Chain A
């Protein structure tokens, strides 16, 4: 039976969390303030024109989307930076020469990145409570979606961190792919508000499934069924696991 090197997992996890706590202001304050601004801009400006969606006030309706927006970007950013920085500074030698398997490396890096995102998601949820009335009909499902999304996108961020060989590449996917997909994924609207053609196009956007499922846990309203959302997230998670396994097996951009 394979025994895990828990000391290594804990050491990596603790080290990554300590890095986050050192820059707590930047790590937490920035997304929380941004979310507050979204409420002011979208909630007040647009909310005064769109009063309700599916019987939910517009301000409350955008809460799950806003949480997902931050969780996705922060998961990717934390995990990608976490593994890219040792590559950049050269300290990766220590991880590669340590008696640890790729699963333990993932537990350390992805576990820490996902923890940060979950904490952030909960903080944003708390912040939203100051602006709009909140209702969570399925709290365990909400927590499950939050954890699953954080883990999946932290894993995706980890892959980006291994793939990137410069700070530019590190930013390119979050900025050029993830942020547009999140904005177009129904963070601020339901895709049912779109013309038929664009509704069909939107279904090709994986973020739609995340936000839809997450929103269901709050208000029991969704663009696609929860089961489909879960299948899509698990499929993406499986693809990420497969890719990261291949990266470690071949030493892609890690070992010669």
Chain B
């Protein structure tokens, strides 16, 4: 799959000498959903804003669909839609007017049927004449998405699109994002809800202290870095783990009723059979047994800790 966004040796040093981005190299594939994860202040928004032209890069090169964001800014910016983190809206404008303005700003001729279609898709059609200040937070967020989509972008940046949005609306948005991807739009999203990235992303990138730590296919990352846990609910609380079980490095929970074994599912001999046999021999009986896989969130925490 070819790259729609190519970032090479990108650095951003703010005037106060703070380096927000350190030698970023990143390729975003056409048509994928890429989740950019990182703790607060990691550089996610700076990276997005630099690609969109809101922040000036210190050095490096950014190409969008092969065009340079500085030399060919008119082409690259018309290919990009941005939903920023902050709910920045014109409180006194109507939904229709603000979305129409966005389309015009990005150089597109007025197209009422298209705007109507977007507003209907985002359940904003019946609010089209409402001023934005009368809308709920979730509705305002949808207006931001409608504005970003108004000029039919090929690349859509969603900077924490579901921050402060309730569960139902969040699920709704996931569906919209999925539907957009099917129309060929490449989506780059940042989020603090790791389950969101886990649910939607094809690939994941982690940024910390301005550096990209890892970019990986989500499933490969989870397979590679995700540990599996075997959890045994004990019949009787255990005072201590028998010495014979030490090779498995088991963990006993605080109320001493649960044993956890971390294992590598990729290995043929993962040690489970031997563990269960040794438990019987040691007289440790259990009433239930289940497995759990590391979530993206747990992997992310591990990555950021390093």
Residues of A within 8 A of B (CB): 5, 7-8, 10-12, 14-15, 18-19, 22, 86, 89-91, 93-100, 251, 255-256
Q: Which residue of B lies closest to A86 (CB)?
A: B90
A-B contact pairs, 6 of them (CB 8 A): A7-B108, A7-B109, A11-B101, A98-B77, A98-B107, A251-B56
Q: Mark B77-94, 1 if CB is under 8 A from A, else 0.
A: 110101010101111110
B60 on the A face (CB < 8 A): no
Q: Which residue of A lies closest to B87 (CB)?
A: A90
Q: Kindly identify which residue among B49, B89, B104 contacts A10, using a CB–CB cutoff of 8 Å.
A: B104
A-B interface contact total, Cβ < 8 Å: 81
Q: Which residues of B have CB within 8 Å of A18?
A: 97
Besides A11-B100, A91-B89, A99-B75, 10 other CB < 8 A contacts? A5-B107, A11-B103, A18-B97, A19-B92, A89-B88, A90-B86, A94-B105, A251-B56, A255-B54, A256-B15
Cα distance A14–B55 in the bound complex, in angstroms = 27
Q: Which residues of B have CB within 8 Å of A89?
A: 88-91
Residues of B within 8 A of A (CB): 14-15, 49, 52-56, 73-78, 80, 82, 84, 86, 88-93, 97, 100-110, 147
For the complex formed, measure the closest distance between the CB of B31 and the CB atoms of chain A, giving whole angstroms.
22
Decide: B14 and A256 in contact? CB cutoff 8 A. yes
Decide: A15 and B56 in contact? CB cutoff 8 A. no
Q: Kindly identify which residue among A91, A96, A99, A251 contacts B106, using a CB–CB cutoff of 8 Å.
A: A99
Q: Which residues of B have CB within 8 Å of A98?
A: 77, 105-107
Q: Kindly identify which residue among A11, A19, A255 contacts B105, using a CB–CB cutoff of 8 Å.
A: A11
Q: Which residue of A lies closest to B157 (CB)?
A: A97
- Which secondary structure dominates where chain A touches chain B? helix
Cα distance A251–B12 in the bound complex, in angstroms = 15
Q: Which residue of A lies closest to B75 (CB)?
A: A99
Q: Kindly identify which residue among B54, B101, B103, B109 contacts A96, using a CB–CB cutoff of 8 Å.
A: B54
Cα distance A99–B77 in the bound complex, in angstroms = 5
Q: Which residues of A have CB within 8 Å of B77?
A: 97-99
Decide: B104 and A7 in contact? CB cutoff 8 A. yes
Decide: A22 and B92 in contact? CB cutoff 8 A. yes
Please give me the 5 A-B residue pairs with the lowest Cβ-Cβ distance, nearest first.
A11-B104, A90-B88, A99-B77, A99-B74, A97-B52
Q: Which residues of A have CB within 8 Å of B54?
A: 93, 96-97, 255
Decide: B82 and A7 in contact? CB cutoff 8 A. no
Q: Which residues of B have CB within 8 Å of A256?
A: 14-15, 55-56
Decide: B82 and A97 in contact? CB cutoff 8 A. yes
Q: Which residues of A have CB within 8 Å of B89?
A: 89, 91
For the complex formed, measure the closest distance between the CB of A199 and the CB atoms of chain B, giving whole angstroms.
47
Q: Which residues of A have CB within 8 Å of B105?
A: 8, 11-12, 94-95, 98, 100
Q: Which residues of A have CB within 8 Å of B73?
A: 99
Q: Which residue of A lies closest to B100 (CB)?
A: A11
Q: Beyond A8-B105, A99-B77, A256-B14, is A93–B82 a contact (Cβ under 8 Å)?
A: yes
Q: Which residues of B have CB within 8 Å of A86?
A: 90
Q: Which residues of B have CB within 8 Å of A100?
A: 105, 107
Decide: B56 and A7 in contact? CB cutoff 8 A. no
Cα distance A196–B103 in the bound complex, in angstroms = 58
Cα distance A177–B49 in the bound complex, in angstroms = 37
Q: Kindly identify which residue among B53, B76, B107, B147 contacts A8, using a CB–CB cutoff of 8 Å.
A: B107
Q: Which residues of A have CB within 8 Å of B107?
A: 5, 7-8, 98-100
Cα distance A93–B53 in the bound complex, in angstroms = 9
Cα distance A7–B107 in the bound complex, in angstroms = 5
Residue picked from A5, A95, A251, most chain B C-beta under 10 Å? A5
Q: Which residue of A lies closest to B102 (CB)?
A: A94
For the complex formed, measure the closest distance between the CB of A180 and the CB atoms of chain B, giving whole angstroms.
32
Cα distance A98–B76 in the bound complex, in angstroms = 10
Q: Which residue of B lies closest to A3 (CB)?
A: B74
Q: Which residues of A have CB within 8 Å of B14?
A: 256
Decide: A15 and B82 in contact? CB cutoff 8 A. no
